[in-house]
Structure 1
Amino acid sequence: MSGSLWLKPPREGGTLPAIPRPRREETPRTREAGRAPDPGLAPDPLDELAERLDGFVAAAVHPDEVAALLESDGMTDDHIRLTYGRADSFALAEDLYARVERRHPAPQAPPAGPRLGGLADCLLRGLVFALPGLAYVLAAPLLAGEHGRFGLPGGTVPLLAGAVTGWVWNQALSHRAYTWLGLGDRPAAARALLIGAPPGALAGTGVALAVAAPGETPAAVFAAGQALYLAAATALLVLGRERALLGALVPLAGAVPAFRWDLPDPLRAGLLLASLAATTALAALALRPGLRRAAAGRGGPPRAASLPYGLFGLGSGLLVLHAGVGSTPVGGAGAVVALTLSMGPAEWLLHRFRGESLTRLRILTTAREFRRAATGTLVLCLGSYLTVLTALALAVTLLWPGAPRPALPHLLALLLVGTALWLGLLLQAFGAVLGAATVCLLAAAAQTALPAAGPAATGGAAAVLAVLTCVLLVRPTAHR
């Protein structure tokens, strides 16, 4: 899985519009009444403010939207009391909301073209997330160690340590690059990836080598290639080169016969190296615009802003790894495969929730109606994702060689992990990444300290994230 697995570009239009302050001699109301303003009376400042904000207030579905605009323009409570005679921004917003008639714009027509285009792109991303798992199938005979640690097969510890390091680094790097893309500066995004990807690959390699025990050198070498792949795949995914990455992963299809027949070791190594070399070369070509001197960018996002996204990558990655430690396909490697494949539909459902919420924001006239509609959409999207995840888990179990029927407790545990991941992704997409990262990290820490508490910790995380989602994302102001 790539470091950019669960990160999408920041939503545009997240900033509030500035309050225009035109100078005028007469108001539209006096003009419509056919009379000139009375020079002997001072104009009501609240009328002036209502006319300046007429378009924004008319489209608002709650006074809090107006209050947020006033505060973003720098209006303090002291200024509001002296100028408008109201106690604070909320009282002023309520008066403005009452004075202006609601005029919600009609919903935009859906774009021309096939409606499933976005779904196809998301399914493609889910496929390129899952295909690297075939590399472990090819490399399994090459990595087999004599002695394992912590009840895991030999070589597992350096592989997991290198993977988690790559997820954390590349998740934070992806956020920084996506921020540049959101600013419309693609060369600066390429430069950020060009500068940040090599240290991430070195960090993953260094951690894997540091934790490798005697006899786990082959696993550490594979972890170094894994770190290089994660860095290159992150660059391709952030820059929208999913199809190129899919082509680079074609050699890994040679792992399919390995499920039944024993392949020669040189062939296994050759397929792995061919895919890694192709991915690295394609990433180098995609990052060439970052070499230009003008690609440095100006006034870029602060690096500290990307830290919560790296922490979310750490927490969610650990939850997936814990889901992969089990004795049955649904509770072991099959869970990781199902979760990885489900990330494509998960992204599409995230976009669906966002689009449906914006549509409701345009056509509904009260905050109560919007809350009900947003809650219904949230339940529908989460239910759809869990249905897809269940179907994928059952399909993996049926296709897994010699796999028994999935046990209900393992399936329920997998669905709890999926719920926590999807809700965490949703909160991240709306900027509430710190809360999602904190909840996932606490759940992962609880599972690490007490493995028997895994389902309880994951269920608690899912419940807390559900509450946070309902509190934050059913408000109209969260979608402006």
Structure 2
Amino acid sequence: MHPDEIAALLESDGMSDDQIRERYGVKNSFALAEELYERVTRRFPEPDGPVHDPWQVGLLGCLLRGVVFALPGFGYVLGEPLLVGDPESFSLPAGTLPLLASALVGWTWNQGLAHRAYSWLGLGDKPAARHSLLTGAPLGALLGASVALAVAGTAHPAAVAFAAGQSCYLGAATVLLVMGRERALLATLLPMTAVAVVAMLQPIPDALRLTLLLGSLLAVTTLALLEVRPDGLALKGRGAVFDVRLPPRGRDQPPRTRRQKTTMSPRLTASLPYALFGLGSGALVLHAALSGSAVAAVALTLSMGPAEWLLYRFRSGSLTGLRNSRTPKAFWRTTGTTLTLCLTTYLAALSALTFLATTLWPHTPALDGVSLAALLVLGTVLWTGLLLQSFGAVMGAAAICCTAAAAQTLALLTHAAGPHWIALYVNGTAALVQAALICGLLGRVTAHR
């Protein structure tokens, strides 16, 4: 309540300035109101019942997404015989360049595509989201395959075919993840994963490798097509069995008119910063893998599950801080404490996953101090970048990640010594810049929408 409102209440109760001077020894009702305002502690009663928190999500679902992100890596174990030939530049296996190029294109394109589909879902237009995925995913797969063919050089055609299949998988997996079909995607990847684990321990026939790769790709693309086909068939996951049913017509959301569809359509350019963030963050992870830390790349991929859950925990803690804080400084301190706790927890989870992957992966040496520090700094860059993205400052995160990736690429091309030290310096600088941006946004209530 404002002091002027207190003065209005005093006057409405019939207290004149003369009575106030005689009883309380102050000049008038406004002076009394100011004194009451300073003396009385303001309390804000909580609403009846539990407080609504839209950021409460289950940990298991986020961990499942992290596993789904990591399992496709076993496809490279099965596809190793396809990368035949003499080593390419930087002592990489033959056929690596088409794979890397198509992967970067796929991460960039599908990150932007996912944002556009989520934008349509946020507007309550699920058919438009499906249509954008139906048209965008094949275009992204075609683009990735074309780039792989363009940079193939002397690589074996089998490597180019593998890169094309990778592009198709990335598009189909994006469809299933956006539409919330993580369990369906997991079910299609489990047979390939099981055999890939066996292949790491003992030789298996090449025919079996090829059959599993093609079978998994066919299963994922089929599920994605069923999810976004024009007649709207939807998948209901029940373990490994899928019940295909026609969804009910939208009763909650009234059909949008043509004018509404025109005025409410999300802009294509709004998805560009998210695509660039996908490019920058993907390139940084690739650099971690190419520097001899393939296990680090696996740990980073697995850590995206805990990272997502901790982002939700931060948003939930910010909502609690907004409800309980009385001043902007108090709100900034509360959100800063929550941020520190969440980031520390994420780095601890990343360290544990790195140790676990190093222990379970055959013939893998433990990371030294510099390599581990570079990995943790990279994890900080990725997590704070995701946080900036949730704040709506995705362009800043994209610019920082792309600049860091470009600096490491330049160092790689110029054969600069000590890739782990370069990664530590470059990613450390990026982490500090992103931390400064976050500190400037923590106290802004509008950034936590």
TM-score normalised according to structure 2 size: 0.80
Give yes or no for the alignment of 1:423 onto 2:384: yes
Q: Distance in 2 between matches of 1:439 and 1:103?
A: 43
Aligned residue runs from structure 1 range 104-183, under 5 A: 104=44, 106=46, 109=50, 118-183=58-123
Counterpart among 220, 231, 251 of residue 279 in structure 1: 220
Aligned-pair Cα RMSD in Å:
2.6
Aligned to 1:265: 206
Which segments of 5 or more consecutive residues in structure 2 lack a partner in the other structure?
A: 1-7, 15-37, 234-254, 413-418
Distance, in Å, in 2 between the alignment partners of 1:290 and 1:355 is 38
Aligned partner letter, 1:423 = T
Given residue 175 of structure 2, which amino acid in structure 1 is its aligned partner?
Answer: A
1:13-39 CA distances to partner (integer Å, 9 max, x unpaired)?
xxxxxxxxxxxxxxxx6999389xxxx
Aligned residues: 383
Residue type at the aligned position of 2:341: L
Q: Deviations over 1:151-191 (max 9, x none)?
A: 32211110000000000000001110001111111111111
Shifted more, 318-327 versus 373-382: the winner is 318-327
Matched-pair identity in %: 56
Matches within 5 A, 1:265-344: 265-289=206-230, 297-298=261-262, 299-327=264-292, 332-344=293-305
| Alpha carbons of structure 1 residues 125 and 32: separation in structure 2 relative to 1, 3 Å | farther
User: Is the 8 Å Cα contact of residues 439 and 465 (structure 1) preserved in structure 2?
Assistant: yes
**Partner-residue secondary structure (3-state), 2:436:** helix
Within 5 Å, give how 1:39-438 maps onto structure 2.
Answer: 104=44, 106=46, 109=50, 118-253=58-193, 254-289=195-230, 297-298=261-262, 299-327=264-292, 332-438=293-399
Displacement, 1:406? 2.0
- Alpha-carbon distance between aligned partners in 2 of 1:338 and 1:144, rounded to the nearest angstrom: 27
**CA shift at 1:111, angstroms?**
7.2
Q: Specify the code of the residue in structure 1 equivalent to 2:76.
A: Y
Is the CA contact 1:357–1:374 (under 8 Å) kept in the aligned structure 2? yes
Q: TM-score, normalised by structure 1?
A: 0.75
Question: Which amino acid in the other structure matches residue 124 of structure 1?
Answer: L
Say if 1:190 and 1:290, in contact at 8 Å, map to a contact too. no
Q: What displacement does 1:216 show?
A: 2.8
Return the alpha-carbon distance in structure 2 between the equivalents of residues 149 and 365 of structure 1. Answer: 59
Are residues 104 and 206 of structure 1, via their aligned partners in 2, closer, same or farther at CA, if it must alter by over 3 Å?
A: farther
Change (3 A) 1:432 1:102: farther
Q: Is the Cα contact below 8 Å between 2:82 and 2:162 reproduced in 1?
A: no
Partner AA of 1:146 in structure 2: D
Partner of 1:450, secondary structure, is helix
Check conservation: 1:162, 1:227, Cα contact below 8 A: yes
CA distance 1:104–1:280, shift in 2 (3 Å)? farther
> Do residues 470 (structure 1) and 449 (structure 2) align?
no
The structure-2 alpha-carbon separation of the partners of 1:237 and 1:31, relative to structure 1 and needing over 3 Å to count, comes to farther
What's the secondary structure of 1:275's corresponding residue? helix
Give matches, 1:14-53, under 5 Å.
33=12
Cα 1:473/1:341, change in 2 over 3 Å: same
Aligned to 1:435, what secondary structure does the other structure show? helix
Kept after mapping to 1: 8 A contact 2:392/2:447: no
Separation in 2, partners of 1:333, 1:130: 12
1:303 aligned partner, one-letter code: L
Residue type of the partner of 2:279? Answer: L
Kept after mapping to 2: 8 A contact 1:177/1:193: yes
AA aligned opposite 2:226: L
